[in-house]
Chain A
Amino acid sequence: MKKIYVREDWCLGCHLCEYYCANANLGGGDMWKNLKGKAIRPRIRVEGDNNVSFAVQCRHCDEPHCLKGCIAGAISIIEGVVSIDQNKCVGCCTCVLTCPYGCIVPTETGVMSKCELCVNNAGQAKKDKEGGIVGFIPACVQNCPNNAIVVEETEVTA
């Protein structure tokens, strides 16, 4: 199971992860076209100031409050990734009210979104020298200029 971790001491507070996240979840491609002049809706959020800064995104809890409280049964764990079925979500915000880390954000249409480790963003493929796809790396991890966000495979707890 993949999990994203944050290295607070390495975070510059540049907010680039937010832009790459928003862009990846709009299908990737030209960031300028996708984001210029728009209010971005990243699923990662940088907190802090010049002294202390760090990024926060879904912790993919083993016992997710959001899943257990969802009135629509729209949240499930798919291969370790806490995921929202946006076709089932009715936008009631119960998950926003129950997530202890503040990691669920409404989309433009009012249904909810959250970090799903970019597993549904084909644009985040990690390629080898020959161009073959060897895995997927979340956009925030790939594009953090100081490696302050890292992804690790952890053992799946049953």
Chain B
Amino acid sequence: MSKYVIIGNSSAAIGCIEGIRKTDTEGSITLIASEPHHCYGRPLISYYLEGKTDAEHMKYRPDSFYADNGVETMLGENVTGIDPITKTVTLQNGNSLRYDKLLVATGSSPRVFPAPGMDSVEHKTSFMTLNDMKYLEKHADQRSRILIVGAGLIGLKCAEGLKNRVLSVTVVEFMKQILPSALTPKAAARVQAQMEANGIHFYINNAVGEYKKAPPASADSVTLRDGSEVSALLANAESKYPDNTYTAVLKDGTEIPFDILVLATGVTPNTALVKDAGGTVNRGIVVDADSRTSLPDIYAAGDCTESVDVTTGETKIMALLPNAYHQGEAAGRHMAGAAAPFEEALPLNAVGFFGMHILSAGSYTQDILLEEDTNEYYRVFYGEGDKLTGFILIDKYARAGIYTDILRHGTPITEALLKEPGLLPFSRECRDEILTQKGGKN
């Protein structure tokens, strides 16, 4: 009977459990995770702050999941080392555990760029975990002014989640656009306008040079797009911490008063366990399509790994939930002896801000095949000839998955498909495969 050990408790870990159990219902599975919680949908922490979900509904799988799958959990435990020779993992509490097959699904950690005075800021957090969410729930209220550094997905979802709970939300981004790793400048500008219309303040192409424990030197130094917010921002007396006000001094001299700092300047894959054990690590842990690392019987999946983007052939970190699940599942299946490699990894994002929906996939380096820019929606497709390599759809996204599937499989794209996604432009044989008894695909 195989002994499986999984480090981590997010989508890659759950995918692994479900992958193992498709084949092996007997082997023992032990799951070790540093977070002391039942598995939860990590991206849901912003929806919780926004009031769109609650602790119960955030659970990624039902309460009975571990018991149903014969998983022994060790939650709140840290793994300090892996010995690939004796096939053991060592825990911080000194215990060690033997494995036949091991999954490392350790995720990533916030990457912080220190600035002078940052350490002195009393209320600050990242925004990646349930505990971060609880911290903000506890400390942020109607009198709090929030400063978010970093306008990636994490920072912006945090901004949206907090907006109606707090006095003001200001976002500072180093790059020349928001969502630099997910969108083109043009699409990003559209999203920024949407967020600004909903009261989020932005300082783009800027950075915090220094944090000071004091109100801003003068009111004139704060220039916001929405003039009505200026007085609210400066009304320190309204702040929750009137005697404990901080000011962020930006590179261009702008001073932003705030009470709570959220650091969302990117993440670093947690690769140390595999690296220290002698496994190959570039920026992320190197794995194949079965999620095997360079070390025998050690697998890795999710945000701690790097994998091949099918739309470009490049190896990169694609720290996105669907990829994490698929990688974890591929690991589990291979561990249990019924390999089903995951060879369709690609950048993929569906995200909403204040009612605007942005669905994107692939890469945006090729020619524009079609662009539609209207007041109601925006759609752009990238590719070369009849090969689609990426797309961005804002507020017109019905059946977007048909495009994603074209990216996954390199299916030739036609003008009719670009105009309107559907199955009609495909061949009769292809449709029969999907829609009739003749097809066994599904």
Contact = CB atoms under 8 A, between A and B. Distances in A.
Interface in B285-307: none
B52 A90 contact: yes
A102 B398 contact: yes
B382 to A, nearest CB: 16
Given A72-B60, A90-B44, A90-B47, A8 B401 contact: no
A145 interface: no
B175 interface: no
Contacts of B44: 71-72, 90
Given A7-B436, A69-B325, A102 B422 contact: yes
**What bracket does the count of chain B residues touching chain A fall in?**
35 or more
A59 interface: yes
Given A96-B400, A102-B421, A62 B442 contact: yes
Nearest to A149: B435
A52 B435 CA distance: 14
A27 interface: no
B321 A102 contact: no
Contacts of B399: 96, 99, 101-102
A40 interface: no
B15 A68 contact: yes
Interface stretch (B204-212, B229-237, B426-434): B426-434
Nearest to A64: B442
A132 B398 CA distance: 40
- Interface bin, chain A: 35 or more
Nearest to A154: B437
Interface string B349-366: 111100001010100000
B352 A91 contact: yes
B325 A68 contact: yes
A6 B436 contact: yes
Interface string B59-70: 111000000000
B325 A54 contact: no
A97 B404 contact: yes
Contacts of A52: 424
Given A6-B436, A71-B44, A96-B397, A102 B402 contact: yes
A143 interface: no
Given A90-B47, A97-B359, 9 more contacts: A8-B435, A61-B442, A65-B322, A69-B322, A72-B58, A97-B348, A97-B400, A98-B348, A102-B422
Interface of B: 14-15, 22, 39, 41-44, 47, 52-53, 57-61, 321-322, 325-326, 329, 348-352, 357, 359, 361, 397-402, 404-405, 408, 421-424, 428, 431-432, 434-437, 442
Interface of A: 5-8, 47-48, 52, 54, 56, 59-62, 65, 68-69, 71-73, 87-88, 90-102, 104-105, 152, 158
| Closest CB pairs A-B (n = 9) | A102-B399, A69-B322, A100-B405, A73-B60, A99-B401, A93-B350, A94-B350, A6-B435, A59-B442
